[in-house]
Amino acid sequence: MPDFVPEWDGPIAGYVVNFLTAQHWKIARTVPKDDALQEAYCVFLRCKRKYTTVTEPQHFMALFKTAWYNHFTDLANNDTAERVVHQEPETPIEQVGATDNDGALAIMLRQAPREVSMVLSLFLNAPQELLDIALASWKAGGDRRSKSGGSKQVNRLLGLPEDQDTMKQVIDYFSK
């Protein structure tokens, strides 16, 4: 009986094509069908090189099927892991009545007293140079919350009476 030499063309290639027709969806995201055929051919070459003493085609086919199935399982597991890594994170759904979203802040800003709105507008819209000057004189004036310090400077900038404690009003409004 002549020695058996495994060949790709024939039953092995047919088996792989039929297998991929049914199972390729498991790896389709990361491995195109042509690449999967190449992977199967590499498994075939590895088996052919490793199992040189096999003398029956059925025995070699059984060894190839096992090796291919194991390799395909590894490809499918990698595909699944890749899918988990690139899955879009779920966006949290805001519950009706939740107070920890931007809506509550928007309402507070809209309903703020005139002095509070003016102070916020000053801090958000003033040029940086003006804010640097105000901050320097504010620091020189002592405690930022005291009437003698920050509120007087802010009141001067806004044209409000100097005896009013507008900074305390802002703090009190947003801390309630």
Can you spell out the DSSP letters for 132-173?
HHHHHHHHHTS-TTSIIIIIHHHHHHHT--TTS-HHHHHHHH
| Residue 145 counted as domain residue | yes
- Percent of the chain at pLDDT > 90 equals 39
Q: What residue type is 37 in one-letter code? A: L
Are 115 and 80 within one domain?
no
Do 70 and 112 lie in a common domain? no
User: 85: number of CA atoms within 13 Å, CB side?
Assistant: 8
The tokens for 10 are 């024939």
Whether residues 117 and 63 share a domain: the answer is: no
Both 120 and 168 in a single domain? yes
**Residue 148 located in a structural domain:** yes
Number of compact structural domains in the chain: 2
Domain annotation covers residue 58:
yes
Phi-psi category of residue 54: left, alpha or beta, with phi > 0 → left and psi -120 to 50 → alpha: beta
Residue 4 domain flag: no
pLDDT at 164: 83
Are residues 67 and 108 located together in one domain of the fold?
no
**74 and 114: one domain?**
no
Judgement on whether residues 148 and 122 belong to the same structural domain of the protein: yes
Q: Which of 85, 114, 148 is a domain's end point?
A: 85
In a domain, 155, yes or no: yes
Whole-model pTM above 0.75? no
Q: Last residue of a domain, which of 85, 118, 145?
A: 85
Above pLDDT 70, what percent of the chain? 77
Give the domain-ending residue among 85, 111, 143.
85
Q: Are residues 76 and 107 in the same domain?
A: no
Q: Can you give the residue range of the structural domain that contains 137?
A: 103-175
pLDDT-derived band of residue 148, with 50, 70 and 90 as boundaries? very low
Task: Report which residue type is found at 89.
Answer: P
| Angstrom distances, CA of residue 175 to CA of 41, 105, 106, 149, 169 | 70, 12, 15, 21, 10
pLDDT digits (tens, 9 = 90+) for 66-105: 999 999 999 999 998 887 766 566 666 655 555 566 777 7
Query: In this structure, are 81 and 109 located in the same domain?
Result: no
Structural domain contains residue 5 = no
- At 15-46, the pLDDT tens digits run 999 999 999 999 999 999 999 999 999 999 99
Torsion region of 97: left, alpha or beta (phi above 0 gives left; psi -120 to 50 gives alpha): left
